[in-house]
Structure 1
Amino acid sequence: MTTPLLGQMMDVPLTVSSLLAHAARHFGSTEIVSRRIEGDLHRYTYRDCEKRAKQLAQALIALGVEPGDRVATLAWNGYRHLEAYYGTTGFGAVCHTINPRLFPDQIAYIINHADDAYVLFDTTFAALVDTLAPQCPHVRGWIALCDEAHRPPMQTSVLCYETLMDGQDGGFDWPALDEQQASYLCYTSGTTGNPKGALYTHRSTVLHAFGAALPDSMSLSASDSVLPIVPMFHVNAWGLAHAGPLTGAKLVFPGKDLDGKSLYELMESERVTCSAGVPTVWLGLLNYLRETGGKFSSLQRTVIGGSACPPAMLRILEDDYGVQVIHAWGMTEMSPLGTLSKLNWEQSQRPLAEQRKLLEKQGHVIYGVDMKIVGEDGRELPWDGVAFGDLHVRGPWVIDRYFRKEESPLIDGWFPTGDVATIDPDSFLHITDRSKDVIKSGGEWISSIDVENVAVAHPAVAEAACIACAHPKWTERPLLVVVKRAGFDVTREELLAFYDGKVAKWWIPDDVVFVDELPHTATGKLQKLKLRDLFRDHVLPSALEDGRNCALTPGAQGKPVR
């Protein structure tokens, strides 16, 4: 057998610290701006950030943290959180970002499951830490991300971040690490039961940063001013905390205030060109602009993901405010980016209506990700835009197994996402549902997302969710749950009539329920499990017309729930 001819290139490992070192060396004067918990705006540079990240590394080593130990964060988007990203991973420890919006019992479970050595927290979470500390006996210390003047009064004994930093000089060289060492630990909140951990590597993190920055991805460059609305505790801010230093882009962190007014003012004052966030946050920002008549003077594009971007939101941002919307899809298990909606040259020459239909989908994969859809028999389905199937993915930044789980979820080397989707001849992915949310009426699938998108296009609808409701003849039929826009009114009959000509007649919901608000997960996604539980006894008018009751409870008296 012939010995393969090896190349003669430098063997330089792909490490997270190299991203910040690159930014500090070649974009050292580029700003990082943060709205602090203390209320003011903090400014410094990539050069300053690397020095302080090194000080943090020194401080953690002095506390006894070793490579492989997990150091957790409970923090908003800000410069200290960014330092924690690099100060922990830079010497081989693992940065474990925790979503503070989860229930305290879930957070305690995550901390204990990860066996976190230390937890860094913003002072807004002082009361939460007092609740968590007795439940997490193996945590060696809790570190408040503040100076002594802002140390909160607490029952828990805590260390002060700035005091720890003051004891170090930053004269530290990032060690050479194996690129397969663990870098970040993120737990997914999108599963049933206890959250599961996705443990990334330095290699996967750096490759994902390259993928995120590509022109047909988030298209970042050194000329950008980037505001990540998506939290740094939500899958590493979709990679922006790494792609920013990789490209030398200016970073603008919003802190805890994500209301429309706060975001708009920060975008304008810092000349933000690019942003990213979930649809619910953009809904609040658009409502603020509508109320005040505001316009964007610098914002060019935004990435919207986490849940499907309603086509109406896409059109409003592009037509009324001149902002390009990049529809994205991914998941914690994918670091998270999988697909983004960008047109190739040929597609960009098509009529505008056709372009928009494509851009409303979740888009095509970026290099580093492959995908397929499979039927119930496990066979791959055609990319014809019609066949629905379970979506499977693979790639160098997709997990092989969950943290501390021996059994791999992979099927023939592919990760089953739990999404139901179509892929069209243009290779564009269209997520039609989560497998647990799909509505099967008379043996045929109805996309709850498509039904919701029609509803939110109505001017009187602020938000909508479509769920399955039991039916005696069709097994399941769609129920639409709606939040009205402030100052607007719409009736059930008017809203159902709005569907005429927009979807197949049998996709039109059988009933509409109006509510004051919809439940959301800690990451801003519609909590359909809670909605299904809330309306499990709802009786559809069509079910009564068939002369049968559907899961009536005593007292329902055969009337639809209102």
Structure 2
Amino acid sequence: MRALMQDWSLTLDKIFDHAARWHGDREVVTRSVEGPITRSDYATLHRRAKQVSHGLLEMGIGPGDRVATMGWNSDRHLEVWYGAVGIGAVLHTLNPRLFPEQIVYIANHAQDTVLFADPACAALLAELLPQCPTIKRVIFLSEAAPEASFPAEAYEAWLSGRPADAAWGGFDENSAAGLCYTSGTTGNPKGVLYGHRSNYLHAMMTLQPDALNLSARDAVLLIVPMYHANAWGVMYSAPLVGAKLVLPGQKLDAAALHELIETEGVTYSAAVPTIWQMLLAHLKETKGKLTTLQRVTVGGSACPESIIRTLHDDFGVDVIQGWGMTETSPLATVSTPKRPGLSFEDSVPRKLKQGRIVGNLDLKLVDDAGARLPHDGRTFGRLMIKGPTVASGYYGAPHGSALDDEGFFDTGDVATIDADGDMQITDRAKDVIKSGGEWISSIDVENIAVGHPKAALCAVLGVVHPKWDERPILLVQLKPGQAAGKQEFLDYLDGRIARWWMPDDVVFVDEIPLGPTGKIDKKLLRTRLTGYELPFDPNLKR
């Protein structure tokens, strides 16, 4: 027996239609590429997105065609986003911070047809476009096109005068909507092809109180780039509830972000840990305040305890740690407490974990043979995930090729899950340190070490050891003007980690490199350590 309910397909055009109709006057604020702060609203952006659709249709762009963007968070980028998905085209966000050869591979693999780009990308595009034959047209997201060695147009001139009556929707909700590539730390980047239904469901899942808990009462500063897995899904969830959007453009220094937070009454924001470290350093130096910010989501890599405590103790801001990946749309777990009435001190151990699974998803831990492992908070295992917002395969690969026999996707992470369902990433499978048959979590040691008052960034790597197979070493990038010795950091760690987890060496480096998504680039660190020899004491007991 079929239910007697209306047939209402979950396509993303309905999200922006809803935002324009019911939250049309809600502000969208952008630090523009021209410099000044600009103000618009959902109704205006909806009309302009329809004009984008008209222009794309005039080019011959249709369902399934890839429309590429290369830019930071702005109102124009948002217009192109919805203008493309509204007519069934596939919005493909290119990350300008990837290596050029990776961008060329991605654009050619995706067979992008038209590219909308920020003017700051002009020099990069001059290098890339001769190697990307499928891109036939470039439109700069600006009032005037910068000088370029290739034919290009200015967005405002291209958009001007177009009708705003392009038809949206009318296609299957399982149609492709977006294409985002992994950062390709091993091998070529892989394409994750999102669907209208999966992104719509993800938006509703993130709005849950135990997830991002967004509402029309929020002003959202979206720091996480739109080219990072749909800006963690907020490009859909914020318009769905009519939250005010504050888009910082390319200016992501601490002073500029602090200005937007205070002048725009920001209540919620999302970014990787390095952004919050930078902002806290700025606030300390300038004696700045956070008068409206209530909560932030930290993701991309594990959040150090020092950030959680400083934001809470000094500014009254609640830190919500989230975990996910490109293949999970991306939000999958959130560190909201399950038990009511916890004090802040009691909640900190849970906030340091990646949290509980969002509704409609499922997790499991398995050993190397694929057998399920217990959720006791102690047993390490490979983290597997399943659900309607999780990839079944990669673009260009067979459907279902990334799944096990039960339909679970292997995240590549090693984790524990406790009895309350709180999941904690202990390492990437390729980074886990195996010492004497036991596992050491490099992430745990890093997060404690970076709490040292002289540390700017810390990384832990496993190094081959003649007796224990591997031992950890700690790499430290000191804050400017600071000096420290090896023993100072070992003394700091003493009593905070298990004795046998203690690094065998502390190496001070000028820089700990970050990848394009803000994560520590351990592959590059290992390359830089070529020739390093681990101090070895055969009498030392662990």
* TM-score category of the 2 structures, normalised to the smaller one: over 0.9
Mapped partners of 2:422, 2:409: distance in 1:
19
Asked if the contact 1:59–1:167 (Cα under 8 Å) also holds between the matched residues in 2, the reply is no
Aligned to 2:319: 325
Runs of at least 5 residues in structure 2 that lack an aligned partner in the other structure: none
Aligned to 1:246: 240
**Of the candidates 220, 226, 233, which is equivalent to residue 227 of structure 2?**
233
Mapped partners of 1:485, 1:394: distance in 2:
41
SS of equivalent to 2:138 = strand
Aligned to 1:410: 403
Aligned to 2:3: 7
In structure 2, do the counterparts of structure 1 residues 191 and 487 end up closer, same or farther at CA, with 3 Å as the change threshold?
closer
Asked if the contact 1:348–1:355 (Cα under 8 Å) also holds between the matched residues in 2, the reply is no
2:157 corresponds to 1:192: no
Aligned to 1:95: 91
SS of equivalent to 1:116 = coil
Residue 127 of structure 2 aligns to which amino acid in structure 1?
A: T
Mapped partners of 1:53, 1:324: distance in 2:
35
2:384 corresponds to 1:383: no
2:134 corresponds to 1:142: no
Identity %: 50
Residue 348 of structure 1 deviates from its aligned partner by: 3.4
Residue 14 of structure 1 deviates from its aligned partner by: 0.4
SS of equivalent to 2:365 = strand
Asked if the contact 1:468–1:532 (Cα under 8 Å) also holds between the matched residues in 2, the reply is no
**Of the candidates 529, 533, 537, which is equivalent to residue 531 of structure 2?**
537
Residue 381 of structure 1 deviates from its aligned partner by: 0.7
Residue 429 of structure 1 aligns to which amino acid in structure 2?
A: M
2:343 corresponds to 1:343: no
Mapped partners of 2:418, 2:20: distance in 1:
43
Write the deviation string for residues 164-203 of structure 1: whole angstroms up to 9, x where unpaired: 2114121223231210000000001054111000000000
Q: Please list, as runs of the form range in 1=range in 2, the aligned pairs for 1:16-415 lying within 5 A after superposition.
A: 16-147=12-143, 150-344=144-338, 347-350=339-342, 352-406=344-398, 408-412=401-405, 413-415=407-409
Asked if the contact 1:196–1:403 (Cα under 8 Å) also holds between the matched residues in 2, the reply is yes
2:502 corresponds to 1:508: yes
* Runs of 4+ with >2 A deviation: 347-354, 486-490, 545-548
Residue 240 of structure 1 aligns to which amino acid in structure 2?
A: V
Asked if the contact 1:469–1:536 (Cα under 8 Å) also holds between the matched residues in 2, the reply is no
Mapped partners of 1:89, 1:351: distance in 2:
44
Residue 351 of structure 1 deviates from its aligned partner by: 5.1
Mapped partners of 2:340, 2:111: distance in 1:
50
Write the deviation string for residues 206-227 of structure 1: whole angstroms up to 9, x where unpaired: 0000011111111100000001
Residue 259 of structure 2 aligns to which amino acid in structure 1?
A: E
Asked if the contact 1:252–1:270 (Cα under 8 Å) also holds between the matched residues in 2, the reply is yes
Residue 461 of structure 1 aligns to which amino acid in structure 2?
A: A
Aligned to 1:551: none
Write the deviation string for residues 388-426 of structure 1: whole angstroms up to 9, x where unpaired: 000000100101110011261111210000000000111
Residue 263 of structure 2 aligns to which amino acid in structure 1?
A: S
Aligned to 1:553: none
Asked if the contact 2:184–2:190 (Cα under 8 Å) also holds between the matched residues in 1, the reply is no
SS of equivalent to 1:361 = coil
Residue 499 of structure 1 deviates from its aligned partner by: 1.3
Mapped partners of 1:175, 1:152: distance in 2:
34
Residue 516 of structure 1 deviates from its aligned partner by: 1.6
Mapped partners of 1:224, 1:460: distance in 2:
35
Mapped partners of 2:273, 2:218: distance in 1:
22
Residue 13 of structure 2 aligns to which amino acid in structure 1?
A: S
Mapped partners of 1:138, 1:210: distance in 2:
35
SS of equivalent to 2:178 = strand
**Of the candidates 402, 422, 431, which is equivalent to residue 428 of structure 1?**
422
Aligned to 1:481: 475
Residue 341 of structure 2 aligns to which amino acid in structure 1?
A: Q
* TM-score normalised by structure 1 residue count: 0.94
Asked if the contact 2:11–2:169 (Cα under 8 Å) also holds between the matched residues in 1, the reply is no
Write the deviation string for residues 109-134 of structure 1: whole angstroms up to 9, x where unpaired: 10000000101100000111111110
SS of equivalent to 1:205 = helix
Residue 503 of structure 1 aligns to which amino acid in structure 2?
A: I
Residue 364 of structure 2 aligns to which amino acid in structure 1?
A: K
Asked if the contact 2:205–2:358 (Cα under 8 Å) also holds between the matched residues in 1, the reply is yes
Residue 355 of structure 1 deviates from its aligned partner by: 1.6
Asked if the contact 2:26–2:242 (Cα under 8 Å) also holds between the matched residues in 1, the reply is yes
2:538 corresponds to 1:546: yes
SS of equivalent to 2:346 = helix
SS of equivalent to 1:76 = coil
Residue 373 of structure 1 aligns to which amino acid in structure 2?
A: L
Residue 546 of structure 1 deviates from its aligned partner by: 3.0
SS of equivalent to 1:255 = coil
Mapped partners of 1:19, 1:351: distance in 2:
37
Mapped partners of 1:167, 1:77: distance in 2:
24
Mapped partners of 2:431, 2:224: distance in 1:
24
Residue 27 of structure 2 aligns to which amino acid in structure 1?
A: E
Mapped partners of 1:433, 1:199: distance in 2:
26
**Of the candidates 511, 518, 527, which is equivalent to residue 521 of structure 2?**
527
Residue 472 of structure 1 aligns to which amino acid in structure 2?
A: P
* TM-score normalised by structure 2 residue count: 0.98
SS of equivalent to 2:29 = strand
Residue 331 of structure 1 aligns to which amino acid in structure 2?
A: M
Residue 23 of structure 2 aligns to which amino acid in structure 1?
A: F
SS of equivalent to 1:405 = coil
Write the deviation string for residues 309-348 of structure 1: whole angstroms up to 9, x where unpaired: 011111111111111000000000000011000013xx23
Residue 547 of structure 1 deviates from its aligned partner by: 9.7
Asked if the contact 1:471–1:540 (Cα under 8 Å) also holds between the matched residues in 2, the reply is yes
Residue 424 of structure 1 aligns to which amino acid in structure 2?
A: D
Mapped partners of 1:340, 1:441: distance in 2:
30
Mapped partners of 2:210, 2:70: distance in 1:
32
Mapped partners of 2:361, 2:461: distance in 1:
31
Q: How many residues align?
A: 538
Asked if the contact 2:145–2:153 (Cα under 8 Å) also holds between the matched residues in 1, the reply is no
Residue 383 of structure 1 deviates from its aligned partner by: 0.7
Runs of at least 5 residues in structure 1 that lack an aligned partner in the other structure: 549-562
> Mean alpha-carbon deviation: is it higher for 136-145 or for 239-248?
136-145
Asked if the contact 1:469–1:538 (Cα under 8 Å) also holds between the matched residues in 2, the reply is no
Residue 80 of structure 1 aligns to which amino acid in structure 2?
A: R
